[in-house]
Structure 1
Amino acid sequence: MLVLAALVAVAVGTGAFLGRDRNTPDIDGLRTWRLEPSHVTGPVDHAQSPAVGGPHAPQWLNCGVYGAPVPEENAVHSLEHGAVWVTYRPGLASADVSRLVAGLPDTFVIVSPYPGLRAPVVVSAWGAQVALRGVDDERLGEFVRFYRRGVTTLEPGGPCHGGTGAPGRE
C-alpha cells in the first residue's frame, strides 16, 4: 500500500498522472513548442504562423488594437513580455472585430489582422497557440486568462508600451 501511494505521488508530481504540467492548460486544440529567445535584426522565417516565439526583433510592439498587419518580429518580442496576440483573418466584419476586442483585457493584448490564417481567429502566446472557430469561441478567454502575463512569461515585468507601433496601450 505504501509503495502504491509513493507511485501515485511521483506520477502526480511529474504530471504523468494528469498528462499535463502546471504550465500547460487543458484547452482543446492547444499546440505548444519549446522555443529559445534571441534578438536578431531583419526578417525571421518562423515555423509557426503566426509566430509564437524564437528569434525576434530587439524592440517590442506596443500592445493594443491594430487595423493592419503588424511586424511579426516585434509582436514576438511582446509575447516574451507576457502579451497575448489575437490575430484574425483580414476581411472579418467590423462588428465581429468589435465583439472580439470587447471581450479582451485592456493590457498586454495585441489584436491585429493576419493574412493567411488557417482559422478565423488564432490566439498566440510565447510557445503556445490555439486556432479558434470564431470571435465567440470560449477557448479565447481560457487562453488569455492562463497565458497573459502568466507562468510561461519569459520576461516578467517587461513592458508592453514604449516600444514600436501604435496605439501604445499597455
Structure 2
Amino acid sequence: MSISTPGGPERRPTVVSTGKKPAAGRPAAGDKPAAKAGAGKAGGGKGTPRPGAGGKGRKPVTPVKVSQGRSWGPIALFVAVGVLAVGIIGIGAWAVYQGAQPWQKRADAINGMVDFRKKDKDLVKGGNHQPGAIKYDVSPPVAGPHNQAWQNCMGDVYDAPIANEHAVHSLEHGTVWITYRPDLPADQVEKLKSKVQGKEKLMLSPYEGLDKPISLQAWGFQLKVDNADDSRIDDFIKTLRVNASIEGPNALCDQGVTATGTTPRDNLQNNMPEQPTQ
C-alpha cells in the first residue's frame, strides 16, 4: 500500500520485523484462507463426524423396550364367558335331545322309577270297573280294577285321604297322583301343593302307611322319594302326566268325586258323564 502526500512522491509504509520467522508449512496470520460457507454448521462440515459413519462422534441411542405384563383379567373373563356359553349350548342340546325321546324312554331314565307295565301286564289293562272296596297289592295302587267314578283331578289338593278306588280311575285318565305321609312337615306339603294346585290331571292327598315320605303314581308307574325338593318329582310329572293315560288325552278329570274318605261312593256310578271318544 502506498501513501501519497500532497505535492510529494509516494512513500511505502515501513515494515517492522519482529525477527520471528513463520513456522514451516504454517501460513502467516494474515494469510489464513477463509472458511468455506457452511463450515461449522451442525452436521454440514466435513470436520463434523456423522453418527454411524465410523467417526469418533456419539453413537445413536437405542430405544429401551419396556416389557409390560400380560393383562390376565380380560383373558380370564373371556375364557369364563366362552365356557359358560358352551355349557348353555350343551345343556340346551341335551334338553332338546331328551325332549325328542319317546316318553317311555324318558320314564325309564328316571332313577328309582318302578314300571309295573313291564312287571304285570294284566294289572295295567284298564277298563275294569268294580263296585265296593277293592284290595290292591301295591300301596298306593297304580292300576287295576277301580270304581266307575273317578276322583276330581283338576289340580285338586285334598287335606284328607281319598278312596283308592276313585283315585285309580283318575290314574287311568292320565292323572299323576301325589301322596304323602300325614306327618310330612308343613313346608314340604306346601312345596307339593305348589306343583299341583290348579293344574289339570294332577291331584294331591295324604296317605296312611307310606314306607317313604312321598309317593307318586301314574297309571302303571310309581316313584317314592324322601323330600319335596327331589328333582325327580318334576321329571315324573312332566313325563307321565297325560302320557300314561290309556284312555287318551281327552279323558275327563272334572265332574268327579270331590269328597274325601277312604270308602268308595258307589251311588255316584250312574251319575258319571260319558267319556269322550279318542
- Short-chain TM bin: 0.7 to 0.9
Deviation at 1:28, TM superposition (A): 0.6
State whether residues 36 and 55 of structure 1, in contact with CA within 8 Å, keep that contact through their aligned partners in structure 2. no
Matched, 1:121 2:214: yes
State whether residues 159 and 206 of structure 2, in contact with CA within 8 Å, keep that contact through their aligned partners in structure 1. yes
Deviation at 1:71, TM superposition (A): 0.5
- SS of 1:82's equivalent? coil
Distance in 2 (alpha carbons) for counterparts of 1:166 and 1:145: 27
Distance in 2 (alpha carbons) for counterparts of 1:56 and 1:87: 18
**Which protein has the bigger helix share?**
2
**Which protein has the bigger strand share?**
1
Higher relative contact order (CA 8 A, sep 6+): 1
What RMSD over aligned residues (CA atoms) do the two structures have, in Å?
1.8
What's the TM-score once normalised by structure 2's chain length? 0.50
Structure 1 unmatched ranges of 5 or more? 1-20
State whether residues 82 and 154 of structure 1, in contact with CA within 8 Å, keep that contact through their aligned partners in structure 2. yes
- SS of 2:177's equivalent? strand
Matched, 1:112 2:205: yes
- Please list, as runs of the form range in 1=range in 2, the aligned pairs for 1:12-91 lying within 5 A after superposition: 22-24=103-105, 25=107, 26-34=109-117, 35-37=124-126, 38-63=128-153, 64-91=156-183
Larger Rg: 2
Distance in 1 (alpha carbons) for counterparts of 2:201 and 2:168: 12
Structure 2 unmatched ranges of 5 or more? 1-101, 118-123, 261-278
* Segments ≥4 residues shifted beyond 2 Å: none
Count residues with an aligned counterpart.
147
Deviation at 1:166, TM superposition (A): 4.7
Distance in 1 (alpha carbons) for counterparts of 2:103 and 2:179: 26
Distance in 2 (alpha carbons) for counterparts of 1:55 and 1:103: 28
- Counterpart in the other structure of 1:131: 224
> Structure 2 vs 1, CA of residues 96 and 44 (structure 1 numbering), >3 Å: closer, same or farther?
same
Deviation at 1:94, TM superposition (A): 2.2
State whether residues 36 and 54 of structure 1, in contact with CA within 8 Å, keep that contact through their aligned partners in structure 2. yes
